[in-house]
Structure formats: C-alpha cells, structure tokens
C-alpha cells in the first residue's frame, strides 16, 4: 500500500494529518449545512401547505354553529313556539380528572345523571373521547356545574324549544327532539321552513384540546323562517278547557274539537284529549302525541243527515213541503232500518229535529246512487283535507261499485263512511256559507283561494234554518243553544264498529254546529269517544259546543241575532 507520509519528518507528518482532518471536518460541516438548507427548502417550499395544514390540526378545529329555529305565532302574533339559547354539558372521559371525586359526585347529584352516565364518569379505563352528560339545561343548572370547575367537563351553546301555550296547543304545534328537529305536529310538517342552516367557525385549542378562542367564522348560520298560523290562541284555550272538562267528566277514551272560520275555512282551534305537556315529556307513550282531531276517523252518524236533505233538495228529488212517513222501521231487502220511536209523518224540518233514520233512508233512496255518492265525494269524504299535517286522515267512503240500497240507506245516517273531526267540520262550511265548501288551512290567510259551490245558496240556507230546530225545545240538542244567538247544528250518537258488527255499549257522541245562524261566523265540531254513562251527542258533545261557541262569539264581538229574554 502506498504510504502518503513516506519521506516526511514526524513534524510535517503530524501537520499533514491535522490538515486532512480539518478538510474532512469542513466537508462534514458543509454537508450538514447543505442538508439543513435542503431540509428547510423541503419544509418551507415543497411541503409548506401540507405541513401548515397538519400543524393547524393540532390547534385549529372547525365546529358547527347552531342556527336559530324560526318562531311560530298564532294569527294575532302571540308566540306559540320559540327557541332560547341554553348550554349542553359534555365530557371527555379520557381527560376527566378523577381526583376531583367530590366535585364529580356533586355534579352527578345536580344533573341527576342515569346509571350509564355515572359509570362513564367513574370508569378508570374509558374508551370514549366524547359523551353528552346533559343537553339543553337551564342556565341555573349550568352555572352550578361550572362552579365545580371539573377538568374534562365542557359546555356547548345550543337552542332549546319552548312552548308558551303548553298543553293547550301541544297536539297542534308538536315538538322537536334534542337535536332541534321537528318530531310531531306543525314542527314536523314545516321542518324545512323553520329549521334554518347551521354555520361553521374556526376555534383555537390549547395543547389539552380545550377551546381558548373563537378564531374566525367560516360560514354564518342562517336562522329559520317564522311561521304564522291560522290558530287563534284565545279560541284554542277555550276549546282545550271545555274539551278537557267534558273528557274528564264523562271518563271518555279520547275527545277532539275543531273550530273553523265559516267564511275562509281557517282553522281557529284544534284541541285533543288526552293532553300532554310539550315542555316536559317524561314517561309519555307515543300514542298520546297524535292530534286526533286531524288524524283519527270515526263514523259521523246522524250529522250526515243534513247533507242528504240538501242533496235531495238541490237535485229536485224532494221539495221543501215534502213529508215522510216513518212508522218506526223500514225494511230494505232482508235488512231493516229502525228509529228509536215511531215518529209518524215528518216534515223535512222534523226529520232533522227528531233525527229519524227511517226518513233519512227513504229520502236517500229517492236519489240515484251515483248522484248521492258524488255529493259525498265533493264534500270531501274519503279524501284528505290537504292541510299538510303529519298523519292527516283521508277517511273512507264506500266505493260506488259496492253501493246497494241498504248501503245507501245506512250512508244517509252516517254509517259506512268515516271522517276526522276536521273533515266533518269542513263539510259543514257548505251549510254555513250558503252552499260554498271551503278548503281548510293551518296557516293564516285573508281569503280562501279554492272555494267550491256544492249546493245552491237557497238550499243551504233552507237546511240551515231546519237545523235551528234541532237546538230548540223538542230537538235533540237543546244544550247546544247559545243565549242571544241563533244556532244551527246536528247531533250524532254513533255505535262504534267492532269485530263482527257494532258494539252495544261503546259510542261516539258528536255534535256539529254553526252560529250565528243568520250569518254564520264559526263552525264547531265536537267528538267525544266512548263516554261512560251518558253517551248521546245532545247530552255529551252539545254542551261543549255551546260553551266554546259562546266564548268565540264574545271574543270576536259578534252581534247577537236574537233578543235575550229579560
């Protein structure tokens, strides 16, 4: 091997070794510096955006910003539903300081946490990074927990829905869930209109992932739109109060009531029993939530008789002076229609006043089946009222192909057809507004843009005059009278269908009426399902109508149309 130092003196040899070492060290230093420069270029130029993004993830987070849900008003601007800002409490079990056992115990007591949440807080090896402890709590409750200053417990702002009208409009307005999504009623029907759009914002977290600052709004939240209903909160209260009283008094299975504006078809009230509180729904069964006035159907019984007489008069199958012989029963093929008494020969007015099934059957059979079927169909029976309410009933009308003489007879006094309380009230607008059937609406409007003429005006007026006698002495609904006002209406006492036929002990008590009869302003339909003891429509449903109608006329300042006895 060649010796680099051959011929060198010891001193020069050592000098040359030092020189080589210096050069080698210099090369290493220069190589190191070059590596650092290249690394810096790589970090600050080539991979700049990627690394900045990765760094930002360590301290920047994008979180949603709750949007404000639209308010719901009654027709006069009274609030029926409103959202208020509240706090929700959540915990990161992995970051929870379990040395603060005393404070944790206090928090458990304050929030009244369930067993599953308590276990999450006491588990020494938790698997979760996030869990809500309590959502949408009151400010007072949140303040108590904040004062405990527990590490790992955090607070988020959300909105809680509040219903100032409470139980009296619960079935109509409905409610939202913990995520502010409509679950029932108007809240569900108009979810897209009310909900708004959540925003986004950047927040800065510290090394322990705690929020230390709101950094920047990325996308502003868009509040939901407000909604104005056709409901009059004052009338809704009257309807709820009187219906609840009757429901309790008669120990009924359920009850419903609808109030319509006779001139526009606007729904002024829709009450249901049994009731619930939308602001506190603990331990309630799902079936309690539905609005029976809109979703449940029943056979309307004798409340259909005015339409049969109106149809016969309008089609010239009978005249105002027509008489009907009843004899107490009427045989149709192998079947027989019966009255409670033998009423003998009845005028059309007395057919309604005495509520004769036999007379109604004979009048119905004077008309072609397709003609009467079309009248029922045009009145809305068998079709939805189209008010965009969840679970809205269509009802049922026997198909024309299945009609026979006996079916046509029973349909004349309200069997073989079913309708909701809302549909029945709507049908009576044809008698209240001189032959014009109104569409119905849960949203406030000035006029009905879709009215339909069903009967001639003079026919509707004449039948309305006949119905006034139902409320007078000798009629089936004396208890529906309202002092100072002419009232027109009809009772229905309906046997409930059951397997194999009709029940002998369960009934629906029904009354539908209008007032003032000289120029009707309101239509009210009342249905009490399975009352105990008394079950006649004139004894059970008619008094509810009277009280609600009297209150509505007074609230709206409607002038009396008869003199009040002194």
The stretch 370-377 carries a mean pLDDT of 95
The pLDDT, as a whole number, for residue 89 is: 77
- Is the pLDDT confidence value at 209 over 90? no
Higher pLDDT, 102 or 505: 505
Please give the share of the chain, as a percent, with pLDDT higher than 90: 59
Most confident of 158-167, 233-242, 488-497: 233-242
- Using CA atoms, how far residue 378 sits from 232, 307, 394, 426, 514, in Å, is 28, 11, 14, 12, 20
- Is the pLDDT confidence value at 457 over 70? yes
**Pairing between β-strand 267-273 and β-strand 199-205 as defined by DSSP bridges:** unpaired
The pLDDT, as a whole number, for residue 245 is: 97
> What does the domain layout of the chain look like in residue ranges?
62-228, 233-555
The stretch 195-211 carries a mean pLDDT of 61
- Is the pLDDT confidence value at 477 over 90? yes
Query: Shortest CA distance to 307 belongs to which of 383, 420, 410, 414?
Result: 414
- Is the pLDDT confidence value at 551 over 90? yes
The pLDDT, as a whole number, for residue 65 is: 63
Instruction: List active site positions.
Output: 302
Q: H/E/C letters for each residue in 279-300?
A: CCCCCCCHHHHCCHHHHCCECC
- Tell me whether domains 62-228 and 233-555 share a fold: no
The stretch 4-11 carries a mean pLDDT of 62
Strand stretches in 196-333, DSSP E: 199-205, 211-219, 227-228, 254-261, 267-273, 323-325, 329-332
- Is the pLDDT confidence value at 18 over 70? yes
Architecture of the domain whose range is 233-555: 3-Layer(aba) Sandwich (3.40)
CB-based burial, 156-175: b 16+ in 10 Å, e otherwise: eebbbbebebbebbbbbbbb
Residue 552 to residue 543: CA distance in whole angstroms: 14
The pLDDT, as a whole number, for residue 114 is: 75
User: pLDDT class for 213, splitting at 50, 70, 90?
Assistant: very low
For the CA atoms of 516, 517, 518, 522, what is the dihedral angle to 10 degrees? Answer: 50
The stretch 374-395 carries a mean pLDDT of 93
The pLDDT, as a whole number, for residue 57 is: 53
- Is the pLDDT confidence value at 85 over 60? yes
- Using CA atoms, how far residue 2 sits from 12, 65, 76, in Å, is 18, 79, 111
| Residue found under tokens 């079916």 | 407
The stretch 431-436 carries a mean pLDDT of 96
Lowest mean pLDDT among 84-93, 288-297, 369-378, 534-543: 84-93
Most confident of 11-25, 138-152, 236-250: 236-250
> Diameter of the chain by CA atoms?
155
pLDDT in tens, 36-63: 877 777 666 666 665 555 555 555 565 6
The stretch 505-523 carries a mean pLDDT of 95
Architecture of the domain whose range is 62-228: Alpha-Beta Complex (3.90)
The stretch 188-210 carries a mean pLDDT of 71
Please give the share of the chain, as a percent, with pLDDT higher than 70: 86
Higher pLDDT, 85 or 470: 470
The pLDDT, as a whole number, for residue 351 is: 95
The pLDDT, as a whole number, for residue 566 is: 45
pLDDT in tens, 243-289: 999 999 999 999 999 999 999 999 999 999 999 999 887 767 777 88
pLDDT in tens, 150-178: 777 777 777 888 999 999 999 999 998 87
User: pLDDT class for 535, splitting at 50, 70, 90?
Assistant: very high
The pLDDT, as a whole number, for residue 304 is: 96
**DSSP helix/strand/coil, 314:** helix
Q: How far apart are the first and last CA of the chain?
A: 144
Q: H/E/C letters for each residue in 435-475?
A: CEECCCECECCCCCCCCEECCCHHHHHHHHHHHHCCCCCCC
Phi-psi region of 283 (alpha: psi -120 to 50; beta: other; left: phi over 0): left
Average pLDDT along the chain: 86
The pLDDT, as a whole number, for residue 212 is: 44
């Amino acid at each position: 091997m060649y010796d680099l130092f051959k011929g060198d003196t010891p001193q020069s040899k050592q000098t040359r070794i030092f020189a080589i070492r210096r050069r080698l060290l210099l090369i290493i230093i220069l190589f190191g510096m070059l590596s650092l420069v290249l690394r810096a270029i790589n970090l600050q130029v080539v991979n700049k955006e990627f690394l900045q993004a990765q760094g930002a993830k360590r301290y920047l987070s994008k979180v949603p910003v709750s949007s404000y849900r639209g308010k719901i008003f009654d027709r006069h601007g009274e609030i029926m539903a409103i959202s208020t800002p509240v706090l929700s409490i959540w915990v990161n079990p992995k970051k929870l300081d379990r040395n603060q056992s005393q404070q944790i115990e206090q928090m458990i007591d304050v929030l009244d946490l369930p067993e599953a949440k308590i276990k999450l807080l006491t588990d020494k090896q938790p698997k979760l990074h996030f869990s809500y402890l309590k959502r949408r709590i009151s400010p007072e409750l949140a303040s108590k927990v904040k004062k405990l200053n527990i590490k790992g417990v955090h607070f988020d702002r959300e909105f809680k829905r509040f219903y100032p009208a409470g139980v009296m409009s619960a079935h109509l307005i409905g409610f939202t869930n913990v995520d502010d999504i409509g679950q029932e009623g108007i809240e569900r029907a108009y979810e897209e209109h009310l909900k708004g759009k959540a925003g986004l914002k950047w927040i800065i977290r510290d090394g322990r992932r705690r929020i230390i600052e709101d950094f920047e709004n990325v996308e502003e939240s868009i509040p939901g739109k407000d909604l104005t209903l056709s409901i009059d909160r004052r009338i809704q209260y009257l309807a709820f109060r009187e219906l609840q009283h009757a429901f309790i008094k008669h120990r009924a299975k359920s009850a419903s009531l609808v109030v319509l504006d006779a001139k526009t078809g606007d729904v002024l009230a829709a009450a249901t029993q049994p009731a619930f509180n939308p602001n506190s729904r603990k331990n309630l069964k799902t079936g309690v939530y539905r609005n029976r006035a809109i979703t449940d159907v029943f056979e309307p019984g004798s409340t259909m008789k005015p339409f049969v007489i109106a149809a016969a008069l309008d089609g010239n199958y009978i005249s105002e002076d027509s008489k009907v012989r009843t004899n107490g029963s009427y045989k149709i093929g192998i079947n027989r229609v019966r009255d409670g008494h033998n009423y003998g020969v009845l005028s059309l007015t007395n057919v309604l006043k005495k509520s004769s099934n036999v007379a109604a059957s004979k009048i119905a059979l004077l008309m072609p089946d397709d003609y009467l079927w079309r009248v029922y169909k045009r009145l809305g029976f068998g079709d939805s009222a189209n008010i965009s309410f969840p679970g809205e009933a269509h009802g049922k009308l026997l198909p024309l192909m299945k009609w026979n003489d006996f079916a046509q007879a029973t349909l004349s006094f309200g069997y073989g057809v079913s309708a909701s309380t809302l549909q029945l009230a709507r049908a009576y607008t044809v008698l209240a507004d001189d032959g014009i059937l109104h569409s119905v609406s849960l949203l406030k409007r000035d006029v009905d843009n879709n009215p339909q003429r069903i009967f001639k005006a003079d026919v509707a007026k004449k039948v309305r005059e006949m119905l006034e006698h139902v409320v007078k002495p000798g009629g089936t609904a004396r208890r529906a009278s309202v002092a100072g006002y002419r009232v027109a209406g009809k009772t229905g006492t309906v046997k409930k269908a059951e397997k194999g036929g009709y029940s002998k002990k369960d009934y629906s008590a029904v009354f539908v009426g209008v007032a003032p009869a000289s120029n009707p302003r309101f239509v009210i339909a009342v249905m009490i399902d399975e009352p105990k003891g008394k079950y006649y429509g004139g004894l059970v449903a008619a008094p509810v109508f009277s009280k609600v109608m009297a209150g509505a006329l007074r609230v709206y300042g409607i002038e009396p149309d008869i003199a009040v006895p002194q």
